[in-house]
């Protein structure tokens, strides 16, 4: 596919540290697949649905035979799924029972600034914060995760991530697979030490020097265990029906190319129906899904015509060693299916280039850090920069006006998944050519490989205040690859 060619030219993989687990790892496709729990509102009233989430440590059996300490929303990993409705607010109180400050961010949320989870809007240990999500946005697959300044990487690695799904009437009318056949899948890689504990080099300095770690963790932290909804290489027992699989790359730094590799028959392939910001205008058939950290791909996988005993396996073409394997679907039963994949999904407002009022260039690169204090060693000179500057919470980097379309041209000399808060965007071109199939629809995170120039159209709506854009490689983000965005009247 076109996607494959473009990425191969510049190398889509993250070049960061890969940590080899010392724990005993299970064989692939043995452990039963998991579905995150759904969070019930504590209270429902005229203001909206009130939820309560406690961020705390918990012990889970992730690898068979080991007890792993995680940090979880309600002690779960992934956190519980919030299923919300467009136009109906959710009021989510997060209580922090961890020993460190946290920040909860709703990724993809059209959220007022005070609830957006700015990296220094800390919820300190033993404190609570109320986040209000008005949900003035279309049906979409969102996720929530920690966004603490300088520490999002280790916090998410330890488990602070979960789904937040928004539904609406337009989507209800489509007849897509629903209920148990609507399956959110949080994909991430992790590594475990000999005692079965999560290893993260930046918070565990001894791990950097262990023989299991190769590469530079400043470029990104990768593990050798693929987890889907917290389960290593799971096997889902399914019916011979259509499933809606909502993929989220919740990894810190790993990029995936997912593909079906069925041992028994020809693979079903993916029908993409949505991306970060909601449904596409029309479905598209894809043999492979390219996913950088933070991106979501909403798909239908059609298993009608398969018989009990058939199996299909999802593999990662960009993996190495055990990260090539992802999950398996094993058909165990036949069931009726009345779902559909309509030819038209959602109405998407097309950006008209004539309406752009401003053009901007944003360059993402590794370069000299200006006047850094308190740092020592080799990392002193170099850092991750946007337009030559590391993040400074006190500096406004871009000022945009509500309702104005802008064209942004992003360039990079390393691979960066670029994410913008508040509003999604449309990808206009890559290197002056047509965008990739994976760029379709409303995106809020987009993979910007080294050497590419990517143009996007963006417009901010609804709320003024301080928002941000940043690299969603969480190690780059933690090492200051963020910029402040002031949205004004």
Instruction: Give the interface with ligand C2O as residue ranges (CB under 6 A).
Output: 105, 107, 145, 147, 294, 419, 421, 470, 472
Partner whose footprint covers residue 244, from Cu ion, ligand C2O, none (CB < 5 to 8 Å by kind): none
Q: How near is the Cβ of 333 to Cu ion at its closest, in Å? A: 39
Strands 311-316 and 256-260: antiparallel
Q: Residue 420, preceding bond cis, omega within 30 degrees?
A: no
Q: Give how far Cα 202 sits from Cα of 95, 335, 403, Å.
A: 25, 48, 40
Say whether residue 447 binds Cu ion (CB under 5 A): no
Residue 158 found at the interface with Cu ion (CB under 5 A) = no
Q: Which is nearer to ligand C2O, 213 or 468 (CB)?
A: 468
Whichever of 235 and 254 has its CB closer to ligand C2O, that residue is 254
Dist. CA 382–CA 438, nearest whole Å: 32
Q: Give whichever of 252 and 452 is closer to ligand C2O, judged by the CB atom.
A: 252
Q: Rounded to the nearest whole angstrom, what is the least distance from the CB of residue 78 to Cu ion in the complex?
A: 16
Give least dist CB 402 to ligand C2O, A. Answer: 20
Which does residue 294 bind out of Cu ion, ligand C2O, none, counting CB within 5 to 8 angstroms by kind? Answer: ligand C2O
254 binds, among ligand C2O, Cu ion, none (CB under 5 to 8 A by kind): none
Q: What span, in angstroms and rounded, lies between the C-alpha atoms of 279 and 226? A: 27
CB-nearer residue toward ligand C2O: 235 or 472: 472
- Residue 319, sorted as left (phi over 0), alpha (psi -120 to 50) or beta, turns out to be beta
Q: How many CB atoms lie within 10 A of CB 89?
A: 17
The reply to whether 107 sits near Cu ion by the rule CB under 5 A is yes
Shortest distance, position 296 Cβ to ligand C2O, whole Å: 11
CB of 15 to Cu ion, least distance (A): 11
Give the separation between CA 320 and CA 257, rounded to whole angstroms: 12
Strand 296-302 to 425-430 pairing: unpaired
- With CB cut-offs between 5 and 8 Å by kind, which of Cu ion, ligand C2O, none does residue 430 bind? none
Q: Which among ligand C2O, Cu ion, none contacts residue 268 (Cβ within 5 to 8 A by kind)?
A: none
Decide if residue 473 touches Cu ion (CB under 5 A): yes
- The binder of 476, among Cu ion, ligand C2O, none, by C-beta within 5 to 8 A per type, is Cu ion
Instruction: Tell me the closest approach of the beta carbon of residue 469 to ligand C2O, in angstroms.
Output: 8
Residue 174: burial class (beta carbons within 10 Å; 0-12, 13-18, 19+): middle
Q: Which is nearer to Cu ion, 164 or 416 (CB)?
A: 416
- Long-range contact set of residues 450-453: C-beta below 8 Å, sequence gap at least 24: 450/10, 450/11, 450/412, 450/413, 450/414, 450/415, 451/9, 451/10, 451/412, 451/413, 452/6, 452/10, 452/411, 452/412, 453/409, 453/410, 453/411
Q: Which is nearer to ligand C2O, 107 or 328 (CB)?
A: 107
Q: How far is the CB of 325 from ligand C2O (least distance, A)?
A: 26
Least gap, CB of 444 to ligand C2O (angstroms): 8
Asked whether 401 and 489 are in contact (CB, 8 A), the reply is yes
- Out of ligand C2O, Cu ion, none, what residue 129 binds, judged by CB under 5 to 8 A for its kind, is none
Residue 145 partner contact from ligand C2O, Cu ion, none using kind-dependent CB cut-offs of 5 to 8 Å: ligand C2O
Shortest Å, Cβ 421 to Cu ion: 5
Q: Which two tokens stand for residue 405?
A: 């379309």
Nearer Cβ to Cu ion (416/440): 416
Q: Which residue is nearest to ligand C2O (CB)?
A: 107
CB of 340 to ligand C2O, least distance (A): 32
Q: CB of 233: closest distance to Cu ion in angstroms?
A: 27
Beta-bridge partner residues of 289: 258
Closest CB to ligand C2O among 196 and 441? 441
- The answer to whether residue 164 forms part of the interface with Cu ion (CB under 5 A) is no
416 binds, among ligand C2O, Cu ion, none (CB under 5 to 8 A by kind): Cu ion
β-sheet bridge partners, residue 49 = 44, 90
Taking residue 319's Cβ as centre, other Cβ atoms within 10 Å add up to 21
Choose the contact partner of 110 out of Cu ion, ligand C2O, none; CB within 5 to 8 A by kind.
Answer: none
What does 147 interact with, of Cu ion, ligand C2O, none (CB < 5 to 8 A by kind)?
A: ligand C2O
- Residue (83 or 476) nearer to ligand C2O, CB: 476
The answer to whether 145 contacts Cu ion (rule: CB under 5 A) is no
CB half-sphere exposure, 215, CA atoms < 13 A: 15
Give the residues lining the site for Cu ion (CB under 5 A).
107, 416, 421, 471, 473, 476
């Amino acid at each position: 596919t076109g996607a494959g060619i473009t990425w191969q030219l510049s190398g889509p993989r993250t070049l960061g540290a890969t940590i080899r687990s010392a724990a005993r790892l299970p064989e692939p496709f043995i452990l039963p697949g998991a579905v995150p729990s759904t969070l019930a509102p504590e209270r429902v009233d005229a203001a909206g649905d009130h939820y309560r989430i406690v961020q705390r440590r918990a012990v889970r059996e992730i690898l068979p035979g080991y007890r792993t300490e995680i940090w979880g929303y309600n002690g779960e990993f992934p956190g519980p799924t919030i299923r919300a409705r467009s136009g109906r607010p959710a009021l989510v109180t997060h209580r922090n029972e961890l020993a460190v400050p946290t920040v909860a961010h709703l990724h993809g949320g059209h959220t007022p600034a005070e609830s957006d989870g700015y990296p220094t809007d800390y919820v300190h240990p033993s404190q609570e914060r109320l986040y209000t999500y008005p949900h003035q946005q279309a049906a979409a697959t969102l996720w929530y995760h920690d966004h603490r300044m300088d520490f999002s990487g280790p916090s998410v690695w330890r488990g602070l991530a979960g789904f937040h799904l928004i539904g609406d009437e337009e989507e209800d009318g489509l007849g897509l697979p629903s209920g148990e056949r609507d399956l959110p899948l949080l994909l991430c890689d992790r590594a475990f030490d000999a005692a079965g504990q999560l290893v993260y080099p930046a918070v565990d300095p001894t791990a950097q020097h262990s023989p299991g770690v190769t590469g530079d963790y400043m470029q990104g932290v990768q593990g050798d265990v693929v987890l889907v909804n917290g389960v290593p290489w799971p096997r889902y027992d399914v019916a011979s029906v259509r499933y809606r699989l909502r993929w989220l790359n919740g990894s810190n730094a790993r990029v995936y190319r997912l593909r079906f590799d069925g041992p028994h028959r020809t693979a079903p392939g993916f029908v993409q129906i949505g991306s970060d910001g909601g449904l596409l205008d029309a479905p598209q058939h894809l043999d492979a899904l390219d996913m950088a950290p933070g991106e979501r791909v909403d798909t239908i996988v059609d298993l009608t015509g398969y018989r009990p005993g058939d199996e299909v396996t999802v593999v990662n073409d960009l993996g190495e060693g055990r990260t090539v394997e992802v999950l398996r679907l094993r058909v165990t039963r036949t069931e009726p299916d009345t779902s559909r994949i309509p030819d038209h999904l959602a109405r998407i407002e097309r950006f008209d280039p004539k309406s752009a009022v401003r053009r901007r260039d944003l360059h993402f690169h590794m370069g000299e850090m200006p006047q850094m204090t308190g740092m020592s060693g080799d990392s002193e000179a170099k850092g991750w920069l946007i337009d030559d500057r590391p993040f400074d919470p006190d500096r406004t980097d871009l000022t945009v006006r509500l309702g104005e379309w802008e064209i942004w041209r992003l360039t990079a000399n390393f691979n960066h998944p670029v994410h913008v808060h508040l509003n999604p965007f449309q990808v206009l071109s890559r290197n002056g050519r047509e965008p990739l199939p994976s760029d379709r629809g409303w995106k809020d995170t987009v993979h910007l490989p080294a050497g590419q120039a990517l143009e996007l159209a963006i417009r901010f709506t609804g709320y003024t205040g301080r928002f941000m854009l940043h690299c969603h490689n969480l190690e780059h983000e933690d090492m200051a690859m963020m910029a402040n965005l002031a949205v004004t009247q």
